[in-house]
Amino acid sequence: MTSKPHFLTLVTGDASSYTQSNYGDYADLFERLLQRDGDRWSRRDVVRGGVKDLPPHVDAVLVTGSAATAHERMPWMRALESTLLDFLDRSVPVLGVCFGHQILALALGGRTERNPLGWEIGSAALTIQSSGPWLPERIEALPPLLQIHRDHVAEAPKTALIHASSSQTAVQMYSVDGLALGVQGHPEFTMDILQDLVKSRVTAGTMSAQHLQDVQQSKQSQPEFWRTHLRSFIEQRSLKSQQGPK
């Protein structure tokens, strides 16, 4: 009998009250995107709950987005970086999205900063730079991906392969050794979720009405594409264990 794949989501921020009421928290969004029958999913709020006593045997780790700034290197962030390196040392794939993409890059020796070009918001056209463990060479184009960030990976880790860029963000996606994968955009978001985030920031004065207009004119991501290819990345370890030794 094969064991059920076990995935761990490390939650680094809170979804808005609107998102939580209508879609769930950030861990729920990833599960909705990537879950298949027979999976087992665990989650940990690493801001409030830390990284001690995490499940010892998982097939992949996901790190969510957050309003936090990765290069502030707060104590919980440094603890998270060490934990991610520990998982990678044990050949556990790690997928980081938005903040997760940035903190993973820092853990691996990259550098993040505030993007001098400002916010990247809405659906961004992506340019393929290279194939990789999740992106076969036969794929000639990527669908647009929803974005909401003003920090970015300014320098990728030295051994990273950069897989995609946008007009505003040179490192939209990267991987290291086939086990670490960073994605700056939000494959787990819907347009409704993104509009709610932007509206709240316009009200708070951290975004402009033009930002909201840009989002309202954006194209929805293609979740099926991201589901297929990101799922192939996170399940690589469980598939190998099911195949057994050769």
117-129 per-position pLDDT tens digit: 999 999 999 999 9
Tell me, rounded to whole angstroms, the distance of Cα 178 from its chain centroid: 15
Q: Catalytic residue among 149, 152, 163, 186, which? A: 186
What pLDDT was estimated at residue 242? 63
Domains and CATH numbers, the chain: 6-243 (3.40.50.880)
What pLDDT was estimated at residue 243? 60
Identify the burial level of 140 via C-beta atoms within 10 angstroms of its C-beta, where 0-12 means exposed, 13-18 middle and 19 or more buried: exposed
Q: Catalytic residue among 98, 120, 211, 235, which? A: 98
Q: 186 catalytic, yes or no?
A: yes
Helix runs in 50-190, H state only: 75-89, 99-107
What pLDDT was estimated at residue 229? 93
Each residue's pLDDT tens digit, 73-102: 999 999 999 999 999 999 999 999 999 999
Beta pairing, strands 94-97 & 180-183: parallel
Q: 120 catalytic, yes or no?
A: no
Q: Catalytic residue among 81, 120, 188, 235, which? A: 188
Q: 163 catalytic, yes or no?
A: no
Residue 131, CA distances (Å) to 160, 171, 185 in order: 12, 14, 18
Task: Find out whether 179 and 96 touch, Cβ atoms under 8 Å.
Answer: no
Each residue's pLDDT tens digit, 177-233: 999 999 999 999 999 999 999 999 999 999 999 999 989 988 888 999 999 999 999
